[in-house]
Amino acid sequence: MSIPFSVAVKPSIIRNKRKPCCRRYGVITSELTMVPKHSRTASFPQLSKQGVSVADLHVQEVVEKQSRIADFDTPYLSNFVPQFEPGFLKNAYEMCRNICAEYAKTFYLGTLLMTEERQKAIWAIYVWCRRTDELVDGPNADYMSSAVLDRWEDRLHDIFNGQPYDMLDATLTDTISKFPLDIKPFRDMIEGMRMDTRKTRYKNFEELYLYCYYVAGTVGLMSVPVMGIAPESHIPAQSVYKSALYLGIGNQLTNILRDVGEDALRGRVYLPQDELGEFGLCDKDVFSRKVSERWKEFMKQQIARARFYFNSAEEGASHLDKASRWPVWSSLILYRKILDAIEDNDYDNLTKRAYVGRAEKFVSLPAAYTRSLSIPKTNTHSSFTRLM
């Protein structure tokens, strides 16, 4: 199976200070047909430990690890930062920029206000996440297997060990040598892809919440170290990370509500089964694609929950470094508008796909920019409660 980001380039050499090696690049492909080095569990991830959400425990772990990394005066990979041929890394980041500009236009515009180093790092993270998602939802998803994801995770470890496989991997290796990034959120995202290959129903919101963490909340945890926390911020770093997590949760819940009809055509229902039952609904009602009054009431509850997470994300968005806030506020505002569009369609997300038009997106950008200029507030709520 090949990742759909394949470009012919001139051969380049990467030299690794930790372990001498020479790797030549011909065509940038991500063939993942190798036998995995070790097997991974196929069970559904544990939901909680001692009454605490596993997702929240992951946030604590990531914050602690990345804080320790940030305490060092030298980069995380300082002992074996790969040295690239002149122009190689520049071309690699240009590829990332083009991919981000093509597939995430509004977000890309927001990144243009960042410093050059942060821009490139966010583009590299975006591209890795997109490639990971394409394994399950891309044009070659029919060839998906557990071995493919196992090999992709092995490649991730190679990236963090300063041994990238191709040009796009090289940008992430360079990024983690400059920012305090821990591997855990990246591994967790791959775990989310594994869940997608073996699970098409979710008993309750607790299960769905964990899935949303793996496939989307992880992106927030990856991004905070790059975007940075405002020097004038006085709230705990964990609160900023939780806000980033909640933005990811809100985004994924919105994606789920927007795509209910499309997912149903694939036999998937990303909705809490117990809550469907509370409204007298079941999978059959989803597959029938009929918008009943019960469906509308159910959707109102689901939309309210997604908005709750967006509201919870606002505090952290205001405490990011000033130059990094615009893309985050753009995401907050535009994803909320998708929820508005579902309401405007009279809650018909079974036969219609809610979307925000290009003109409306561009009109929203100034509002997002204005919000990004706001001074961090410290007298807001300091704790977050999940809407279960």
> DSSP states of 57-88 as a string?
HHHHHHHHHHHHHHTSSS-TTTTS--EEPTTH
Residues in the chain: 388
Q: What is the structure's pLDDT at 319?
A: 93
The pairing of strands 14-15 and 83-84 is antiparallel
Q: What is the structure's pLDDT at 84?
A: 72
Residue closest to 204 by CA, chosen among 256, 273, 264 = 273
Which pTM does this prediction carry?
0.80
Asked if residue 234 lies in contact with residue 210, where contact means CB atoms within 8 angstroms, the answer is no
228 falls in which pLDDT band (50, 70, 90)? very high
Kindly state the percentage of the chain with pLDDT values over 90.
Answer: 54
CA 144, chain centre distance (Å): 20
Give, to the nearest 10 degrees, the angle between helix 237-258 and helix 293-318.
150
80 falls in which pLDDT band (50, 70, 90)? low
Mean pLDDT across the stretch 6-34?
34
Q: Which two tokens stand for residue 75?
A: 């980069």
Asked if residue 127 lies in contact with residue 101, where contact means CB atoms within 8 angstroms, the answer is no
- pLDDT above 80 for 250: yes
Q: Which of 14-18, 29-33, 41-45, 290-294 has the lowest mean pLDDT?
A: 29-33
pLDDT in tens, 155-213: 999 999 999 999 999 999 999 999 989 999 999 999 999 998 888 999 999 999 999 99
CA 328/CA 379 separation, integer angstroms: 21
CA 186/CA 193 separation, integer angstroms: 11
Residue, of 60 and 81, whose pLDDT is higher? 60
17 falls in which pLDDT band (50, 70, 90)? very low
In three-state secondary structure terms, 205 is: helix
Asked if residue 102 lies in contact with residue 180, where contact means CB atoms within 8 angstroms, the answer is no
Query: Residue 147: phi, psi to the nearest 5?
Result: -65, -35
In three-state secondary structure terms, 248 is: helix
Q: What is the DSSP string of 322-362?
A: GGGHHHHHHHHHHHHHHHHHHHHTTT--SS------HHHHH
In three-state secondary structure terms, 173 is: helix
> What CA–CA distances, in Å, run from 385 to 38, 224, 309, 381?
38, 21, 10, 10
- pLDDT above 60 for 16: no
- DSSP state for residue 44 in the 8-state scheme: P
Q: Which two tokens stand for residue 278?
A: 């509370």
Q: Which two tokens stand for residue 84?
A: 């690239």
Q: What is the structure's pLDDT at 31?
A: 36
Contact residues for 57 (Cβ-Cβ < 8 A; gap 6+): 49
- pLDDT above 60 for 70: no
